[in-house]
Structure 1
Amino acid sequence: MSIALAYTATSQVSELEQLIQGCIRNERSSQEKLYRLFYPKMMAMVRRYIDHDEQAEEVMNNGYLRAFQKLSQYNFQGSFEGWLRKIIFHAVSDYVKQNARYSEKVVLVEKDELVHKDHADKLYYDQLVKLVQALPDATRTVFNMYVMEGFTHKEIGNMLGISEGTSKWHLSEGRRQLKEKIEKLELHLKA
């Protein structure tokens, strides 16, 4: 009877849970499988902040190293992907803090002018990503954290060690620069 119960309990353990347990036991094959399983989604997040391949790969690997070190703290409640995303994001945040030169800015808030809808509709996703990646590092980071990740200016300020006002300035500056770049593309877009 106990063998049947043990078999039932084992068969109900998901493949992901088995991989996680293997990683906790420091099994290299499980670590590699887990890395490869979530690599595309995690790298897409990292690339929103870091546009150079080598630095993005370094940050990604540092994030995974942290995750493997903290894996025994994961309690199998909630989304594992969300848990991993949070750890990788902290690696991104630490990289940005160490490598970006922030300075306090005077914030002059103006109402952002909207980009003409026809221009924005003609942009492909890849073009938009390239435009965002072309923003200066600090501005790109704040823009992504606010627009893509949904953090508040207070949260961004705390994570990056900047004031809320500086975060707002970077967001406004990012929007302004993107608007200019999109409007310049108008010359190349056909109606």
Structure 2
Amino acid sequence: MSVALAYNNVSVKTDELQELIEGCIRNERSAQAKIYHLFYPRMMSMVKRYFPEQVNAEEILNNGFLRAFQKMSTFSFKGSFEGWLRRIIFHAIADYASSNIKYKQSIVLAEKDEFVHKDHANQLYYNDLLKLIQELPEATRVVFNMFVLDDMPHKHIAKTLGISEGTSKWHVSEARRMLKEKVEQQNLHLKK
């Protein structure tokens, strides 16, 4: 029994996906184009969590797909192709972040877990929260997304971005503080 993938009115079965991957290994442009269109929406969604501006997101995503096409022969057909592709795209995000954002702060603070009041958080709409996260300063947003949304430990974030663990913790603490203020200012907990 083959499993089908469907994205943007394009669907492909597992054996067809394997043929497309093999076509990419042979550097066939049509196979690359189909893989790109199949996985573009989900990969772009992942990139935009970190870099919501379309121009930056497109650059990062295209660099990620280029890397994937160059490394396609390393995919062993064991496990999920989408998971393999996500890891490559994530590395493109991390590389962009470490080379384009000024993380090199020497601030070392203990992380403070200040939470939004329970009533506020319970009623907060997911999309509202994502919009607030996108308004965070770029460096803080990237570290916050890695820590909270991708569940990465501070040690891994620090190594990936070339910062100290203390700086990573500071960015998460700062993001939480800023998000708490924004939630309370906008009274998002009152939406029905």
* Matched residue, 2:69: 68
Deviations 1:124-167 (A, max 9, x none): 22211110011011100000001111111000000000001100
Contact 1:105-1:169 within 8 A present in 2 as well: no
Helix, strand or coil: the match of 2:71?
helix
**Which protein has the bigger strand share?**
2
Residue in 2 aligned with 1:16? Answer: 17
- The one-letter code matched in structure 1 to 2:158 is G
> How far, CA to CA, are the matches of 1:18 and 1:126 in structure 2?
37
Q: Which amino acid aligns with 1:166?
A: T
Counterpart CA distance in 1 for 2:145 and 2:79 is 24
TM-score, structure 1 as length reference: 0.88
- Measured after TM superposition, the shift of residue 105 of structure 1 is 3.7
Task: Return the letter of the residue paired with 1:168.
Answer: K
Query: Is 2:130 aligned against 1:129?
Result: yes
**Superposition map of 1:15-164 within 5 A:** 15-109=16-110, 111-164=112-165
TM-score by length of 2: 0.87
With over 3 angstroms needed to count, the CA separation of the structure-2 counterparts of 1:185 and 1:67, relative to structure 1, is same
Q: Distance in 2 between matches of 1:190 and 1:30?
A: 46
Alpha-carbon distance in structure 2 between the residues aligned to 1:165 and 1:108? 6
Aligned AA (1:97): S
Q: Deviations over 1:3-59 (max 9, x none)?
A: xxxxxxxxx971111110111111111111111111111111100110210110010
Question: Percent identity, aligned pairs only?
Answer: 62
Q: Quick one: structure 1 residues 190 and 124, their matched pair in 2 at CA, closer, same or farther if it must change by over 3 Å? A: closer
Gap runs ≥5 in structure 2: 1-12
Change over 3 Å in CA distance of 1:110–1:62 after alignment to 2? closer
Letter matched to residue 172 of structure 1: S
CA contact (8 A) 2:122 2:189 kept: no
Q: 1:122, 1:58 → 2: CA distance? A: 35
Query: Which residue does the alignment assign to 1:167?
Result: 168
SS in 2 for 1:14: helix
CA contact (8 A) 2:23 2:31 kept: yes
- Residues 100 and 79 (structure 1), Cα distance of their counterparts in 2 relative to 1, 3 Å cut: same
Instruction: Give the CA deviation at 1:79.
Output: 1.1
Higher mean alpha-carbon deviation, 92-101 vs 12-21, is at 12-21
Q: List per-residue Cα deviations over 1:76-130 (Å, max 9, x = no partner).
A: 1111111100100111111111110113343332642321233223332221111
- Structure holding more helix per residue: 1
Question: Is 24-33 or 103-112 further displaced after alignment?
Answer: 103-112
